[in-house]
A and B are shown apart, each in its own frame.
Chain A
Amino acid sequence: MTLDDSGRRAASVVRRAAERIGPVPDPAIARRRHCRRGFARNTLTLAVTVLAAALAWQGLPALTHPSRHISLRDLDSRVVAAIDVGERGRLDADNVTPLVAADAHGVWVLDSSNRTVLAIDPVRNLVAKRIGISMGSGWEPKGIWALGGAAWVLSVNQAGRAAMQRIDTASGKVSGTYRLPASSFRSPPDLVTLDGSLWLSSDSGTLRIDQRSAHTQALPDAGAGSARLAVADGRVWAAGALGTVDGIDPGSGTVVDRITDARNGLAISDVAGDGGSLWVLSQGGALRRLALPSGQVRASLPLGDDFGTNPIAVVVAGDILAAIGPKALYIVDAFGDQVRAEVRLSAPGSVAVGAGAIWVADPYHGVLLRIDPAQ
């Protein structure tokens, strides 16, 4: 049997079967069905058009502003740009801090849900590049920092393994990964760099990572409980929850100094290093500058007037110190020891100082706010 024989037989069978499916349907019935379908189609088209117009009308203000969801008109005048950084108008910020990092070389935002880092163009105030940082299934990004001309991302997996990824500033690519021992980061970790090493705080103490050899050294006695870290006066300072700040000698990796907060043992919310000074932000919003190595208080600035809205994080770069709380950003002249401004914000997440500005990530609206500290 040839193909043509098979084909002709199949065709004959199908034609007979088609004729046996029944009489030709009444064309009038088919026309009425088509009319009903056409009416339904037209109604659906009209409904979709009305809905699209309503959505466009609602979203029209977003077209005239940099951000889809927030209007600069509604923000403090010091906010000079609102850059869209989140999908569907938000950034996933569950247990991820910080979300934004900056230094003199650039600004980066961590989008943990999409496993990407957004490189921000600080001149044009837009997302210049999206850098994939996925380490595979089960790995979750925990924070991003800008240190030593690179951006660093900490990721943790479900088995407790941790890794630091280095993003090269120049190429915008992941240029290295440090695998770390199993660690717990129930509290947001912190990262600083000093003498060629990364210093990472975890629940069980501080972890030192030699950048050249990738060798890790656990320092359980220094800053346990995911302490806040800072570099000042040639040492790494780890502020614990009990109001004490441990000074770690970078050579030996041992705690060689301890400063105790004499203010009724209030917990320390954050610390920031500033050359020979250490800024300490205590619970309740008290910001103090301690001169090192003596630890003497050289300036005391109360920030905020409500215990629930006091700032909880502080960063300093050059003469700009920024302290962020759930309702406001405080701009402090780090040289003059004076509060320069209080900027009311609706949903700030984390703050960074660099590239000539203060950057505040607003995860609720999915935007990165640029604040001009000079205004």
Chain B
Amino acid sequence: MRALGEGPRTPVDEAPTGERRSSPTFRLPEPFEAFYEREYHAVVAYAYALCGSWWVAEDLAQEAFLSAHRRWDQVGVLERPGAWVRRAVTNLAASAVRRGFSEARAVLRLTSRREPPEPLPGDAVDFLRAVRSLPRRQAQAVALFYLEDLPSAQIAEVLGCSDATVRVHLHNGRRALAKRLGVREGPRP
């Protein structure tokens, strides 16, 4: 299980007498560029799972990272800044208006685009299409569950809801997916 954007270890002060004394927790943010370099493709993959277009996914990811960069003094010291960025992507993808602007910008930049990625295998396309057909919150929870391999507690942190709510979304979403794809649901996560 990969952890999201863990920051540097909390420093511990040593008292002159040799006793270890825990200081108030503070965290130095890692350089944004390092965080960005490490998380970029994973965030794009998550955005792609939500919107179905690589161009829009990159646009959404870049906008989310830029928002994080503007607030890096606050975001960078979070325990999981990656969760913050993924929540930003989740919100951007959910807004039809913002997505429309992203699509327009992506189209405008097509001429300067890099080569599009090769098409995905059919079963992966079917799976992602089925995910996107779910109700919004279920789709987000299921995408984070499979794409990011996150436990429900961390999914809850990204989506800004309770762990119990995420479990309900995952239960309903997986059941709907299994029915739609004609496969067995498998053991509960």
Contacts and interface: CB of A to CB of B under 8 A. Distances in A.
A6 B114 contact: no
Interface of A: 1-11, 13-15, 17-22, 24-25, 27, 30-31, 33-34
12 contacts: A2-B185, A3-B177, A3-B185, A4-B186, A6-B183, A13-B124, A15-B42, A17-B48, A21-B116, A24-B41, A27-B32, A34-B63
A87 B45 CA distance: 49
Contact of B118 (A17, A30, A34): A17
A5 B184 CA distance: 10
B19 interface: no
B124 A24 contact: no
A21 B114 contact: yes
Contacts of A17: 45, 48, 54, 117-118, 120
Contacts of B149: 11
A20 B184 contact: no
Interface residues of B, number: 45
Contacts of B48: 14, 17-18
A10 B183 CA distance: 14
Contacts, number: 100
B45 A10 contact: no
Contact of A31 (B69, B114, B117): B69
Interface of B: 32-33, 36-37, 40-42, 44-45, 48-49, 54, 57-58, 62-63, 65-66, 69, 114-118, 120-121, 123-124, 127-128, 142, 145-147, 149, 174, 177-178, 181, 183-187, 189
A71 B60 CA distance: 51
Nearest to B115: A22
Contacts of A5: 183, 186
Given A15-B41, A18-B48, A24 B36 contact: yes
Contacts of A19: 41
Contact of B69 (A8, A20, A22, A27): A27
